[in-house]
Amino acid sequence: MLSIILQAAAGAGIAKLGGAIGAGMAALAAGFGIGKIGSSAMEAIARQPEAAGDIRANMIIIAALPEAVALFAVIVGLLAVLS
């Protein structure tokens, strides 16, 4: 019974569905995270415009961290679709 279900699931391309949904969720998560970083950076610059350079440098550094994790999820989604 289980093998029949598994075969049906494989035939229906559930792996491709999973990969595509995973990549979409990665984009959602990255947008949410980096948007939060950007918004707090904007607020900090508005509070103290002379620190704009420091804040901008830190924002770029920290933005690379959730971006890396999101791209990691994209790679996993790609692997799910292709194999």
Looking up tokens 């029949």 gives 4
Site string for other proteins, 59-78 (x = CB under 8 A): -xx--x--xx--xx-xx---
Q: Which stretch binds other proteins (CB under 8 A): 6-14, 34-42, 43-51, 54-62?
A: 54-62
User: Which residues contact residue 30 at a Cβ distance below 8 angstroms, ignoring those fewer than 6 apart?
Assistant: 66, 67, 69, 70
Closest approach of other proteins to the CB of residue 8, in Å: 25
2-21 residues in contact with other proteins (CB under 8 A) are: none
SS3 13: coil
